[in-house]
Amino acid sequence: MVVTGTGTEVGKTVATAALAAAALAAGRSVAVLKPAQTGVAGGEPGDAAEVARLAGPVTAAELARYPEPLAPATAARRAGLAPVRPRDVAEAAEKLATEHDLVLVEGSGGLLVRFDDEGATLADAARLLGAPVLVVAAAGLGTLNATALTAEALRTRGTVCAGVLVGSWPADPGLAERCNVPDLPDVAGAPLLGLVPQGAGALPPAVFRARSAGWLAPALGGTWRAPDGARAPGR
């Protein structure tokens, strides 16, 4: 499964960790692939390592690391390093899939952030893999438009949107957040598959692992259920 976001800082890494933790709890082996890690110096833990810290014993892999916190194509160019190509991502994920029950590919930023100067993106890698894409979305104002655009971009590329997961759900949601719960599946044309609570990444790993299934819908290996009133996709 490919995990993308509607933008930066929407909770992709914590959401990926929750998916991994739920799968591990079910007895599945898990690999997490970060195609392009940006904004992290060599020797520092990246997003894949953070998933492993929170979720438990996963295989964490990166294809490239660029020191500046920029889009992968820009960061690679400025660092004088080779960019990541969609074929590289697909081949690495396919290799990991021969040894693991679940492979999670976590993108950088949003779906169409460029990997290289030719305009290749995570969407191209997902298409090569034939993998469904989980969209991690923000909870509040603006998320409906961003989610609709991401889902439309997936559809135009013939790629399946597995659903939407809110990556940082506030403890005290306001009107916009509450209204977005029934509206997100409608604008995405795909189900709402859970709400990861704000601050979940700061929980002790043992607590994170124990609670993760409660944040995810059964389709993702959890027990969360959409509240009454949530509209089915496309209605």
Active site residues: 34
Q: Please report where in the chains the tokens 């920029």 appear, as a residue.
A: 70
What does the alpha-carbon distance between residue 76 and residue 80 come to, in Å, rounded to a whole number? 6
Nearest to residue 17, comparing CAs of 63, 72, 56, 70? Answer: 56
DSSP letters of 141-195? Answer: TTHHHHHHHHHHHHHHTT--EEEEEEEEE-SS--HHHHHHHHHHHHHHTS-EEEE
DSSP character at residue 214: G
Measured between alpha carbons, how far is 212 from 209 in angstroms, rounded to an integer? Answer: 5
Q: At 143, phi and psi to the nearest 5? A: -75, -30
User: Are the beta carbons of 1 and 103 closer than 8 angstroms?
Assistant: yes
Angle in degrees, 0-180, between the axes of helices 143-156 and 122-129, rounded to the nearest 10: 50
- All residues at 6 or more sequence positions from 23 whose CB lies less than 8 Å from its CB, including other chains: 30, 101, 102, 221
SS3 letters across 61-91: EEEEEECCCCCHHHHHHHHCCCCCCHHHHHH
